[in-house]
A and B are shown apart, each in its own frame.
Chain A
Amino acid sequence: MAEDLDELYQQVILDHCKTPRNFRALPGASRRGEGYNPLCGDNYTVFVAMDGDRVREATFQGSGCCISKASASLLTDAVKGRTKEEVKALFGQVHDIITTGRVTGDGLGKLAVFAGVHKFPARVKCAILAWHALVAAVDGAETPVTTE
């Protein structure tokens, strides 16, 4: 496979797309965010249980392409234990790496696998969709978000 493809579909991404983590509804979730890209058909719900200002648990359900699903899966692992402000700071870093490939700050951990997405402009919206749904969830927004 071409090098660019290996950058886009990193092993971690293929793994999370095949075997998504936290892939379930979350009974007792205090917040939920909907992300829907009608052109792709990518459609996710991100569930968040908050302890005060801190994310105790995050899960997701839905369907879509490999990139969007892996992103949602990795996101739910990454935000547990973070405060609302920390989640938003992380969103900023993830947004940077997905759209430019540049790592800003530290603490991205596994999320650094999305550095290759910016070379595929048509797929940026896939990688960022669940993140917008997450931010909507922690903000308590009720309108579904889209990245198309």
Chain B
Amino acid sequence: MSRTPDWAGLRGDFPILDQRVHGQPLIYFDNAASSQKPRAVIDALRHYYEHDNANVHRGIHELSNRATTAFEAGRERVARFLNAGSADEIVFTRGTTESINLVAAAWGGAHIKAGDRILLTEMEHHSNLVPWQMLAQRTGAELRFVPVTGDEGLLDLARLDELLTPQVKLFAFTHISNSLGTINPVAELCARARARGVTTLVDAAQSAGHMPVDVRALGCDFLAFSSHKICGPTGLGVLWGRPAALDAMPPYQGGGEMILSVDYQKSSYKQPPHRFEAGTPDISGVIALHTALDYLDAIGREAIFRHDQELAQYTYQRLAELPNVRLFGPATDRAGLVSFLLGDVHAHDVVTVADQRGVALRGGHHCNQPLMKRLGVASTARASFYFYNTRAEVDRFIEVVREIQKFFAV
């Protein structure tokens, strides 16, 4: 797309950004934790509840028909967003975490046995680690990890082929590291895994909505992401699965919506994706996510990626010019976030002072405790961007960082 988006105009679509925090203009740099919502998405929620609210798939009446049509249109929209083959490949969940738990429980329960190996990486979010630990404990399988090279935060891919032993049944890894900003070469990783007959799962929580994500080009078997990180409502996520993989999976949870017929002793189940969606789904969430995806694609995900990457690169350079700053993640080709430490100042002290200046950062282990131990730190501070952030905000953030350094004498 050659047209440059009107970034300032887009920022005006986000009512929440127009406020002061502790007397200072809000600078929201915690987008990797959760993004803000444009008015169009908030309006979609309101419109649904004011006009169309009813349960889906079971009503004969008009409102239920409307809700069902809009809900399933959301599924079609997500399929297009991922370039999936069909809407039947899209399962709605509560978030990336539940999507991964679903695969661990349903696929893992059917395919993983004692002695099998599950390959992960050292940079996984707890949500792509703990479900596999639970599966391994349940089945007697073992976990193995692709190492991270150090502060620069790259996967040591020279080790991958030796780690992809015949015992490995699944390789699950993140597209973008939420604490390092590393962008992993997903298509290459999937190709190398597929050559060994290994099933792949991609955690796209930080990449979907931040760059083009095409499941057919990536060549994975499962992919998970969350609505709330890409302008959609909280409490909603997506699991994409290759049709053959979904078809071979038993149900995840039992209940209404996922059954064909029920007797007192046994039941039969629907085909995917409904087999995996027990109970009333997040109807309003899916409808609003549809609006969010329309909104993002009107801007263009390539343009969003370039915008965020440029801000992150600029932030990285400005921080690198300051004394006593430790930076994490790759120096170039990074995603739209920067993790750092200022001398020996604890990340929470950095975040508290920044907050008093109106700058919302994240400080902590970012749900990456093993990675933090691997890097020899308790926590880091993180600035993470989206398309409504500006260079002027980064300049102000750097001023605040200098104040923090002065305050704590580092």
* Residues of chain A whose beta carbon lies under 8 Å from any beta carbon of chain B: 1-2, 4-5, 8-9, 14, 18, 38-43, 63-67, 120, 122-123, 126
User: Please, how many angstroms separate the alpha-carbon atoms of A126 and B351 in the complex?
Assistant: 14
The stretch that binds A, out of B238-246, B330-338, B341-349, is B341-349
Query: Taking A2-B22, A5-B353 as contacts, is the C-beta distance between A63 and B378 under 8 angstroms?
Result: yes
Q: Does B75 contact A (CB under 8 A)?
A: no
Q: Which B17-35 residues have a C-beta within 8 angstroms of A? A: 22-23
In the complex, besides A5-B352, A5-B353, A66-B345, 15 extra interface pairs with C-beta distance below 8 angstroms are A1-B353, A4-B22, A9-B349, A9-B407, A14-B408, A18-B409, A39-B365, A40-B364, A41-B378, A64-B346, A67-B349, A122-B348, A122-B352, A123-B348, A126-B348
Query: Taking A40-B379, A66-B345, A122-B352 as contacts, is the C-beta distance between A1 and B364 under 8 angstroms?
Result: no
Residues from chain B with a CB closer than 8 A to the CB of A2 are: 22-23, 356-357
Q: Does B43 contact A (CB under 8 A)?
A: no
| Chain B residue at minimum C-beta to C-beta distance from A69 | B346
User: Please, how many angstroms separate the alpha-carbon atoms of A8 and B379 in the complex?
Assistant: 21
Residues from chain B with a CB closer than 8 A to the CB of A9 are: 349, 353, 407
Q: Can you report 24 residue pairs joining A to B where beta carbons are below 8 Å apart?
A: A1-B403, A2-B23, A4-B22, A4-B356, A5-B352, A8-B352, A9-B349, A9-B407, A18-B409, A38-B369, A39-B364, A39-B365, A40-B378, A40-B379, A41-B378, A43-B378, A63-B378, A65-B347, A65-B349, A66-B408, A67-B349, A120-B352, A123-B348, A123-B352
B356, A5: Cβ atoms closer than 8 Å = yes
A-B contact count (CB 8 A): 52
A66, B379: Cβ atoms closer than 8 Å = no
Residues from chain A with a CB closer than 8 A to the CB of B352 are: 5, 8, 120, 122-123
Q: Does B278 contact A (CB under 8 A)?
A: no
A123 to chain B, nearest CB (A): 6
Residues from chain A with a CB closer than 8 A to the CB of B349 are: 9, 65-67
B22, A65: Cβ atoms closer than 8 Å = no
| Chain A residue at minimum C-beta to C-beta distance from B345 | A66
| Chain A residue at minimum C-beta to C-beta distance from B372 | A41
Residues from chain B with a CB closer than 8 A to the CB of A1 are: 353, 356, 403, 407
Residues from chain A with a CB closer than 8 A to the CB of B347 are: 65
Residues from chain A with a CB closer than 8 A to the CB of B345 are: 66
| Chain A residue at minimum C-beta to C-beta distance from B409 | A18
User: Please, how many angstroms separate the alpha-carbon atoms of A35 and B323 in the complex?
Assistant: 33
Residues from chain A with a CB closer than 8 A to the CB of B403 are: 1
Q: Which B361-410 residues have a C-beta within 8 angstroms of A? A: 364-365, 369, 372, 378-379, 403, 407-409
A37 to chain B, nearest CB (A): 10
Residues from chain A with a CB closer than 8 A to the CB of B346 are: 64-66
From B22, B348, B357, residue with most partner A Cβ within 10 Å: B348
A93 to chain B, nearest CB (A): 24
Query: Taking A40-B379, A41-B372 as contacts, is the C-beta distance between A65 and B348 under 8 angstroms?
Result: yes
B361 to chain A, nearest CB (A): 13
| Chain B residue at minimum C-beta to C-beta distance from A68 | B346
Other-chain contact of B365, A41, A43, A65, A67 (Cβ < 8 Å): A41
Residues from chain A with a CB closer than 8 A to the CB of B364 are: 39-41
User: Please, how many angstroms separate the alpha-carbon atoms of A40 and B409 in the complex?
Assistant: 22
Residues from chain B with a CB closer than 8 A to the CB of A63 are: 378
Residues from chain A with a CB closer than 8 A to the CB of B369 are: 38
| Chain B residue at minimum C-beta to C-beta distance from A126 | B348
From B23, B356, B357, residue with most partner A Cβ within 10 Å: B356
From B372, B408, B409, residue with most partner A Cβ within 10 Å: B408
Residues from chain A with a CB closer than 8 A to the CB of B357 are: 2
User: Please, how many angstroms separate the alpha-carbon atoms of A144 and B302 in the complex?
Assistant: 49
User: Please, how many angstroms separate the alpha-carbon atoms of A123 and B346 in the complex?
Assistant: 12
Residues from chain B with a CB closer than 8 A to the CB of A40 are: 348, 364, 378-379
